[in-house]
A and B are shown apart, each in its own frame.
Chain A
Amino acid sequence: KAGVTQTPRYLIKTRGQQVTLSCSPISGHRSVSWYQQTPGQGLQFLFEYFSETQRNKGNFPGRFSGRQFSNSRSEMNVSTLELGDSALYLCASSLSGLDLGGYTFGSGTRLTVV
């Protein structure tokens, strides 16, 4: 079966712009989580969506937002981009987010803010 698909793979944006990243989970998975990965901070949890509702949220400013659609696909949006937002953004899906099997990750979107 198809894995977790993230688009686009690479993105270059200018400070002050906004960006939308997309994640299509594994078929049947209803939980989608987003992580930001940087060399300095490692993997930091952004938020989790389940059945179109945000179930959990990390400690990121309000510029970071997300949503989930009825087909479980998820998008995250970052407004007013800052240089420090440059990172690899990873999406992960699981059946319910509470199952014990761990998450399946996509290959990520590499965002560069210039």
Chain B
Amino acid sequence: GDSVTQMEGPVTLSEEAFLTINCTYTATGYPSLFWYVQYPGEGLQLLLKATKADDKGSNKGFEATYRKETTSFHLEKGSVQVSDSAVYFCATRDDKIIFGKGTRLHILP
């Protein structure tokens, strides 16, 4: 079945650092890809999505590009803020959304 593998955390960065969280997927066909974010004590929020190869999703300074050739959907942000501290989930979807294990991000002021 489909699956998602993302880098394990926690990831700790200083404010204004560059962020990359790696995500690769296995799937039949051409799934939609998502990044969700979960802040402490809350549910998941859709951060960005891409529905076909070479699509770039972007939101709040975060970006991810759907790379079919490498089956990847890495999350990037050029300059992180303390408020970006959260758990980030990469996900794909066939008949249901399948999530990676999540990557906890700590941003130090």
Contacts and interface: CB of A to CB of B under 8 A. Distances in A.
Q: Do A and B come from one complex?
A: yes
Interface of A: 4, 6, 33, 35, 42-43, 45, 48, 55-56, 58, 90, 92, 100-108
B99 A42 contact: yes
A43 B89 contact: yes
Contact of B99 (A4, A43, A104): A43
Interface of B: 32, 34, 36, 41-46, 49, 51, 89, 93, 95-102
B75 to A, nearest CB: 15
B55 to A, nearest CB: 11
B contact face: mostly helix, strand, loop, or mixed: strand
A56 B51 CA distance: 22
Given A33-B97, A42-B102, A100-B32, A105 B44 contact: yes
Nearest to B97: A103
Given A42-B102, A43-B89, A102 B43 contact: no
Most chain B beta-carbon contacts within 10 A, residue among A42, A45, A102? A102
Nearest to B102: A42
A56 B43 contact: no
29 contacts: A4-B43, A6-B43, A33-B96, A33-B97, A35-B99, A42-B99, A42-B100, A42-B101, A42-B102, A43-B99, A43-B102, A45-B97, A45-B98, A90-B43, A90-B44, A92-B44, A92-B97, A100-B32, A100-B51, A101-B46, A102-B32, A103-B97, A105-B36, A105-B43, A105-B45, A106-B43, A107-B41, A107-B42, A107-B43
